[in-house]
Amino acid sequence: MSDTIQANAATYRAPAMTSGSTSFWPTGWWRLMDYKIGIISLPIYAILVVLLGILTQQGQIKPDAPTMIAVLVLGGFTCAEIGRRLPILRNIGAAAIFATFIPSALVYYKLIPAPIEKSIIDFTKFTNFLYVYIAAIIVGSILGMDRNVLVKGFLKIFVPLGVGSIAAAAVGTAVGMMLGLGAYKTFFFIVVPIMAGGVGEGAIPLSIGYAAILGQPQGDFFAQVLPPVMLGSLTAILFSGTLNYVGKKYPHLTGNGRLQPPGDGALDLGATEQQEDSSSSSDINAIAAAGLTAIVLYLMGVMLFHLIGLPAPVAMLFLAVAAKLGSAVSPRLQSGGLVVYRFVRIGMTYPLLFAIGVSLTPWEKLMAAFTVANLVTIIATVFTLMATGAVIGRLMNMYPIEIAIVNACHSGQGGTGDVAILTAAERMELMPFAQIATRIGGAITVTAVLVLLRWIA
């Protein structure tokens, strides 16, 4: 009976394959559907362009989820695809750079229709989906991480981060002095903002502290510290993309997202098998439950922020680590968390970067930092931060490329910079450590510098 069914099936398929080789429908159409721009099928891409053009003309672009998903997916993957197709630049993170900074330039030069721009800004502001993304990335990557490497990594990451920060401050200030910027201006208004933790957690509290200590308007200081934040993040993206290329040429220098060799500790929960074929070991219920677990951990982080002042992403990070180490999450949910992580990384990264470029990346502030002296100082600061981290990491038996990339996040544009840097480096698995570098490293930098300024002012 089974032989008869198989024979009939073979007889049925043969004409379809023969006709498909000479006719457009359906084989040719399927081939066209399989041609993608980013993750978007080419015919769907064309339909999206036409639909959004018509909706824009009719004034029907709203900041609701379906419309904004279409807009951000179209814009993000279009910009990323341009970067991917550029010779040389595609090897050093051009996709992430283009997805972030092309929309910023388009906004500045009024090339994005005003209704679309306003809807993107409103959607990004009120949905706060940056933190949904970070929650999924952090929780998914931690749950899928080797337990021994996780513990050792968290304990050891502060050493290259701290030494790199001190070296970067010294070298950056010295370079600025040699270029005639002066030690005071270079240190407080170029070097420190780079490592302050971004805009919301870095530039803003830093400028408020400067205003309170020096008795001048906060807006004036904010205008001075913001350009180095933006350009420092761009430099970190370029360097991290370059390190990704170096890692492919010299694989012994990288763990491809792992901070250090596993050593003698066995991989718990069959992490290797989960990473190789997570889709076969996770059911839909587990994936959905893992996504909800990430949201719950983030909300617990928000609660801790209001209770003790610890930033919500950092609190969520520690909660996820505690859940992993305490075996509070079952292997089934951990497997589902890895699928959530992969889905968010592939499907949401470039749309998120596009939204960040439109709503949170002022092009004019970035351009304001493009003087020779500023540019050289910023490059020297970021390079020293990353290079020192790589050297110290190598001495501590950690992968130098991974440590350099984590240190790069210390010079990024906050959480948005972490996303862009790790996307360029193709190492989103490092997000938990990037958050330590950005949030905790930035908070320590701002606090220490304000204490220093009050002492010398």
> Residue range 28-52: average pLDDT?
91
For residue 146, what pLDDT band results from cuts at 50, 70 and 90? low
Q: Which residues contact 149 (CB under 8 A, 6 or more apart)?
A: 258, 259, 260, 262, 265
pLDDT digits (tens, 9 = 90+) for 100-109: 889 989 999 9
User: Taking 70 as the threshold, does the pLDDT of residue 442 lie above it?
Assistant: yes
Boundaries of every domain in the chain: 22-125, 127-456
User: Taking 80 as the threshold, does the pLDDT of residue 59 lie above it?
Assistant: yes
Look at residue 363 in the predicted model and tell me its pLDDT. 86
User: Taking 60 as the threshold, does the pLDDT of residue 20 lie above it?
Assistant: no
> Residue range 156-161: average pLDDT?
89
> Residue range 404-431: average pLDDT?
88
Least confident of 110-124, 192-206, 443-457: 192-206
pTM of the model: 0.75
Look at residue 52 in the predicted model and tell me its pLDDT. 93
Pairwise pLDDT comparison (196 vs 1), residue with the higher score:
196
User: Taking 60 as the threshold, does the pLDDT of residue 279 lie above it?
Assistant: no
- Rounded mean pLDDT of the chain? 83
For residue 269, what pLDDT band results from cuts at 50, 70 and 90? very low
Instruction: Compute the C-alpha angle 228/233/239, nearest 5°.
Output: 125
> Residue range 375-390: average pLDDT?
95
User: Taking 70 as the threshold, does the pLDDT of residue 15 lie above it?
Assistant: no
Contact 262, 406 (CB under 8 A): no
Look at residue 41 in the predicted model and tell me its pLDDT. 92
> Residue range 343-354: average pLDDT?
88
> Residue range 315-332: average pLDDT?
84
> Residue range 39-43: average pLDDT?
92
Look at residue 18 in the predicted model and tell me its pLDDT. 45
User: Taking 50 as the threshold, does the pLDDT of residue 9 lie above it?
Assistant: no
Contact 289, 336 (CB under 8 A): yes
Q: What is the 3-state secondary structure (H, E, C) of the chain?
A: CHHHHHHHHHHHHHHHHHHHCCCHHHHHHHHHHCCEECCEEHHHHHHHHHHHHHHHHCCCCCCCHHHHHHHHHHHHHHHHHHHHCCCCHHHHCHHHHHHHHHHHHHHHCCCCCHHHHHHHHHHHHHHCHHHHHHHHHHHHHHHCCCHHHHHHHHHHCHHHHHHHHHHHHHHHHHHHHHCCCCHHHHHHHHHHHHCCCCHHHHHHHHHHHHHHHHCCCHHHHHHHHHHHHHHHHHHHHHHHHHHHHHHHHCHHHCCCCCCCCCCCCCCHHHHHHHHHCHHHHCCHHHHHHHHHHHHHHHHHHHHHHHHHCCCHHHHHHHHHHHHHHCCCCCHHHHHHHHHHHHHHHHHHHHHHHHHHHHHHCCHHHHHHCCCHHHHHHHHHHHHHHHHHHHHHHHHCCCCHHHHHHHHHHCCCCHHHHHHHHHHHHCCHHHHHHHHHHHHHHHHHHHHHHHHHHHHHC
